[in-house]
Structures are given as structure tokens and as C-alpha cells.
């Protein structure tokens, strides 16, 4: 797979499929761009050029010693766009923490070249529960996650992926092999990057970035998302971004890219074909 070099010298792995209108896909924590494979094939089958990359510290990208903040993440996205010489009519889709890259790119880089954006189970606009964000996740929950990762990194993710995929919940169930793939992928990440990235998505307030969404915006979120609660995120974006379209997947958990793959692919193909 090809790599590109970021402005701070980090090597980032990416892959492409198809030809036509470019759509860049940004993965969630703690996975890799491979989580987008099925969606990439659907986009390619519908005359689009799908591009997915591994965030620094994850997948096959460099385990960089720094840069696990959203300013740097958005710079990495800008560097990919520049490397591929994309200038206009770019679609972007971010899953979970990947939505943060898009939000910060829209503000920090003026959304250069982007003409449509999709936020899937996204952490935008603000995950942390505060007095002015009462539907957010309590700090104690993030503290428990951090302790779990530090105490036994490998055991932590066995339990984490049960909520991530909604095991035993009302939504669509995935195979044990799918969860095993996710665990193996997480084990290939840098533990430092995993911890630092968790702190970034838990604490970054993207509400100031929302006014910079000046393009058609699709929001997709499962109503039974126990990882990124819909009230603090998907529904809040739909209320605050003018003209945003919200599609709620009834009873589905966080990992909609795996639980309702075909539906998500169809919704993204439809959105990027018409915006």
C-alpha cells in the first residue's frame, strides 16, 4: 500500500479504489482504514474514487511520538489532500473520532476543496459532560477507560468491543470473527497513540468548528450507540449545522459500518452522488 509523508515527517499509509469523484474516508478509534473496505467497494462501483488512510499511530502508519491532537490530525488530512493533488469536489466521511478531523479541517483549513461531508457515529460536537453539555459522557467514564487501558491494554479492548458492536443489544449482531478482527487491529496500534487519541476525542470541544460546515452535511447515528451517545453528538449536530440531514438507525450500536454495512454504503453512495 502507498504512503505519504506529513509536514512533520510522519509516514501515513493510505489506499484507493475506483475512479471519479474523490471521497476520503476517516476511520474510528482504535481501528484502521481497513474498516472502510466494504464502503470503498460500494463507492467505487458507483463511479467514485474512494480513499481511506490509517491515522498516525494506527494501522500501518508510523507510530509517531507526537501529534495526537485534532489540529495535527486535520493537518494530516490536509497533507493527504495536497499529496493526491485534490482541489475540488471532495467528499469526506468520518466515523466516530474521524468526524473530529472533518470538523477541525473545516475550520482550521477552511474546508478547502470539500463540497460534502458525512459524520458517522461521530464524536462531534462534544463528548464530555459539562454544565452546558448535559447529555455528554461523564469524565469518570473516560477516567475508567484510561485506567483499564493502562492496567491491561489487551483485556480492556475485549470488553470495549462488546459495547462498540452492541453485543446482546437490540440492534444487528456481528460475528465473533468481526470482533476478533477489531481486537487484532487495535493490538497493532501504538498504546501511546491509543491513549492520547482517546484523551483527544474525549476532551475536544468541536462546537466552535460547527459554523464552518458550509457544505451539505449528512449525519448518521445509531439510536442504541453506547459508545458515542446520539443526544450529545448526532442529534446536536443536526440541530446546530444549518441544512444538515440526520438519519437515525433505530436500535443500532456504534459500529454501524459493520452492523448495517449495506445500508450505510447505500446512504453514503446516495449522499455523495447527489451532493
Instruction: Give me the catalytic one of 62, 75, 76, 225.
Output: 225
Catalytic residue among 32, 35, 74, 96: 96
Among this protein's residues, is 254 annotated catalytic? yes
Whether 107 is a known active-site residue: answer no
Q: In b/e form, how buried is each residue of 158-179, taking b as 16+ CB within 10 angstroms?
A: eebbebbbbeebebbebeeeeb
Catalytic option among 61, 209, 254, 267: 254
**54 an active-site residue?**
no
| Residues tagged active-site | 96, 225, 254
Amino acid at each position: 500500500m502507498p504512503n505519504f509523508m506529513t509536514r512533520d515527517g510522519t509516514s501515513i499509509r493510505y489506499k484507493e479504489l475506483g475512479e471519479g469523484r474523490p471521497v476520503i474516508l476517516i476511520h474510528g478509534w482504535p481501528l484502521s482504514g481497513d474498516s472502510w473496505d466494504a464502503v470503498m467497494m460500494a463507492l467505487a462501483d458507483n463511479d467514485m474514487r474512494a480513499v481511506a488512510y490509517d491515522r498516525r499511530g494506527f494501522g500501518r502508519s508510523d507510530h509517531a511520538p507526537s501529534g495526537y491532537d485534532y489540529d495535527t490530525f486535520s493537518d494530516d488530512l490536509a497533507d493527504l489532500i495536497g499529496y493526491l493533488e485534490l482541489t475540488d469536489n471532495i467528499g469526506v466521511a468520518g466515523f466516530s473520532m474521524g468526524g473530529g478531523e472533518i470538523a477541525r479541517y473545516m475550520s482550521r483549513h477552511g474546508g478547502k476543496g470539500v463540497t460534502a461531508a458525512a459524520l458517522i457515529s461521530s464524536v462531534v460536537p462534544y463528548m464530555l459532560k459539562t454544565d452546558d453539555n448535559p447529555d455528554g459522557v461523564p469524565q469518570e467514564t473516560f477516567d475508567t477507560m484510561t485506567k483499564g487501558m493502562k492496567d491491561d491494554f489487551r483485556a480492556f479492548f475485549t470488553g470495549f468491543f462488546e459495547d462498540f458492536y452492541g453485543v446482546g443489544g437490540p440492534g444487528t449482531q456481528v460475528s465473533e470473527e468481526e470482533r476478533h478482527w477489531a481486537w487484532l487491529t487495535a493490538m497493532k496500534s501504538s498504546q501511546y497513540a491509543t491513549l492520547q487519541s482517546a484523551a483527544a476525542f474525549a476532551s475536544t470541544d468541536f462546537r466552535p468548528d460547527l459554523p464552518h460546515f458550509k457544505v451539505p452535511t449528512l449525519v448518521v447515528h445509531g439510536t442504541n450507540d453506547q459508545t458515542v451517545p446520539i443526544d450529545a453528538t448526532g442529534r446536536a449536530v443536526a440541530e446546530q449545522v444549518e441544512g444538515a440531514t440526520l438519519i437515525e438507525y433505530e436500535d443500532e450500536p456504534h459500529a454501524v459500518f459493520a452492523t448495517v454495512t449495506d445500508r450505510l454504503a447505500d446512504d453514503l453512495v446516495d449522499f455523495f452522488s447527489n451532493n
